[in-house]
Amino acid sequence: MSDLYRSALMAKLPKLPDEDEEEMDEEEETGDLAPLPSMPPPSSSFSKQKGRVQSRRAPNPEFSPISAAGFFEQAVEVIVPESQLKFRVFYTPPSAPAPGGTIMVLHHGAGYSGLSFAMMAKEITAETGGECGVLALDCRRHGRTTPLNETVSDEDLSVDVLAEDAYNLLCTLFPDPSTTPSLLLVGHSMGGSVLVRTCPMLLTKKYRVTGVAVLDVVEGSAMEALPHMHHLLNSRPDGFNNLEDAIEWHVTNHTIRNPTSARISVPSLFVPSSPDSSQRFVWRTPLRSTAPYWESWFLGLSKSFLEVRTARLLVLAGTDRLDKDLMLGQMMGKFQLVVIPGTGHMIQEDDPSKLAEILIEFWRRNERVIPGVKKVGEL
């Protein structure tokens, strides 16, 4: 365990209770790093379409939840007064003594959680021999991140607020830039837009940022898709009778194409419903409720990405049409573009090994700079 980890986390942040502690409350007992208890039979059947009831059935054991234990070294609760939030953070520190090594900071997309990076994070720490650590967070109104108290609202999901949150969190964990490992910022979809905006704040504070990687989001395509989002969400169930059904829905609808990753990440997307609900589990972050912030997430993303003063990487699931700014930037060599075929929007879950390989290569090229060899995006 590095000195940085001891000083930045253990001294400030309470470790979550061990799985076998008798005093663990019910919420933590069903938490991300503890095996989920067996669920009673569902009270009603799994509905693939809103309002449509199918025949009663038992949960499918092939889609039972998998504990996230073993994918990260720690799960901690981080109190960040500047954001008035208690963040859930999944962390494996780099093996090199501070300020050596690198930490990949992983920010999920809308509706998801830090556990969408679980399998990829394990690949990264294994393939780099621990030299590159990983830190995945649950952003506000997602996963297990909550307001500090009942008087605080966490409703605002505008990109500037989310960027400030990420910045405040990193400053809380690593208050001294001179003793902080270098940071490689990796964001999926909305999370990519957030970290592109966070990067300049970190650089102004003199943190070392190796690069920024944006996963499967292009401003032009995203803005064109926004008017159709409500129609697409109409086929999304309001909830499920058990977590197995929730996982199965994500896999059979190809939302997540890797069943193992879905069994790890999907339970964190749901919370128990109210007693009068027809479903036992409902979405932690209903995507329709985030609609007021969609435009802020993506408007201006391409320009901000190309202007960030560090190495840049864009990873896409398909040959998405680049908008004008990105096309010009690519021709000028301002960023590295990689396409991972055979994956969907959830690249980090669909093919965690391939994405880990790409990110490690990007890190090695830009962290270990050879004199005379420019970083990706340097002119």
Q: 288 or 51: which carries more pLDDT confidence?
A: 288
- Note whether residue 143 is domain-resident: yes
Would the pLDDT of 24 be above 50? no
pLDDT of residue 54: 39
Q: Give the count of domains, the chain.
A: 1
- Note whether residue 38 is domain-resident: no
- Note whether residue 176 is domain-resident: yes
pLDDT band at residue 13, thresholds of 50, 70 and 90? very low
Would the pLDDT of 366 be above 80? yes
Would the pLDDT of 372 be above 70? no
Catalytic residue among 216, 245, 323, 325: 216
Instruction: Output the pTM of the full model.
Output: 0.85
Assess contact for 296 and 360: CB atoms under 8 A.
no
What is the average pLDDT value for the chain, to the nearest integer? Answer: 85
Residue 288, class by beta-carbon neighbours within 10 Å (0-12 exposed, 13-18 middle, 19+ buried)? exposed
Q: Give the separation between CA 340 and CA 318, rounded to whole angstroms.
A: 7
CATH code for position 148: 3.40.50.1820
- Note whether residue 124 is domain-resident: yes
Catalytic residue among 165, 325, 345, 350: 345
- Note whether residue 361 is domain-resident: yes
Strand 85-92, strand 132-137: pairing: antiparallel
Would the pLDDT of 33 be above 90? no
216 as an active site residue: the answer is yes
Q: 145 or 321: which carries more pLDDT confidence?
A: 145
153 as an active site residue: the answer is no
**For the segment 219-263, what is each residue's pLDDT rounded down to a tens digit?**
999 999 999 999 989 989 999 999 999 999 999 999 999 999 999
pLDDT band at residue 1, thresholds of 50, 70 and 90? very low
- Note whether residue 32 is domain-resident: no
Residue 288, domain extent: 3-16+60-367
Assess contact for 213 and 184: CB atoms under 8 A.
yes
- Note whether residue 8 is domain-resident: yes
55 as an active site residue: the answer is no
- Note whether residue 74 is domain-resident: yes
pLDDT of residue 367: 84
Catalytic residue among 2, 189, 261, 302: 189
- DSSP string covering 310-351: SEEEEEESS-PPP-HHHHHHHHTT-SEEEE-TT--S-HHHHS
